[in-house]
Amino acid sequence: MKRIIYAGDSTVTFNKIASWPQAGLSQGLPLYLKDDVWVRSFAINGRSTRSFIEQGRLAQIDRFLEPGDYLFIQFGHNDEKENDPSRYADPEREFPANLRQFIDTACRHEALPVLITPLARRTFDARGRFMPGSHGAYPDAVRRVAREEGVPCIDLTEASERYLAGTGDIASRALYVYPKDNTHLVMYGAVVYAGMIADGLLSLGDPYADLLVARTAADTDSDGEPAVDPYMACGAADSGQQLRRALEAAYETETES
């Protein structure tokens, strides 16, 4: 049994029925993994690297980790909150230092740490144009720590920003708990963005790529026909643009009538 231990915030949390329809990446990710890969989410809503560590959740992971485990580390949303001293961790000093604590914890147990940049917020202007950069300096801080520590990094910020820019305002609403907010995901969004993490694992090669199940039906179905992709691949810009145009046309028709 291979184990992924996932540390993060509300974009990662494995939600129960009390928070329905909110869903986290730890709920979408298992769809891309082999049957012998198990995901254990330690993520919890509202946590930054600072509050996660200070509240003892990294210590829980420290007690849980075993050699050969994978520790996925994804923070940034709440580290940004300058007005909340219990959570704020500046991107130049404390945030990188905290990420290194997670990496050190993994290495101490001969586990494999993987840094993941924060998921993009769904931010569009009044004209429906996507506005990137909702996490400021934090994605670069994650990338920098990955380079300096020699740790794999999956750039979910870049992938999700590219996806949102291509898909557009209206079509992307279906991924988030919209109109309540533009940060938290529904299950569809968790599956879409977990697919981007799967893309990242694939690009890293083994042993990370070996965690993934094949995405075609040929391995499981007798007809040999490829399965429909369970998410819109990052590179499928044409498909995203087609979906965007169709939904925007339908929206305009509805609002005009």
- Which pLDDT score is estimated for 55? 96
Q: What is the pLDDT of residues 75-132, one digit of tens each?
A: 999 999 999 999 999 999 999 999 999 999 999 999 999 999 999 999 999 999 999 9
pTM of the model: 0.85
- What are the residues whose beta carbons fall under 8 Å from the beta carbon of 114, sequence distance 6 or more? 70, 71, 72, 73, 151, 152, 153, 154, 208
Q: How far apart are CA 78 and CA 48, in angstroms?
A: 5
φ/ψ of 132, rounded to 5, equals -75, 175
Q: What is the pLDDT of residues 119-139, one digit of tens each?
A: 999 999 999 999 999 999 999
Average pLDDT over residues 18-43: 96
Beta bridge partners of 2: 37
Sketch out the chain's domains with CATH numbers. 2-256 (3.40.50.1110)
Average pLDDT over residues 152-177: 97
Q: Which amino acid is at 176?
A: Y
φ/ψ of 103, rounded to 5, equals -65, -45
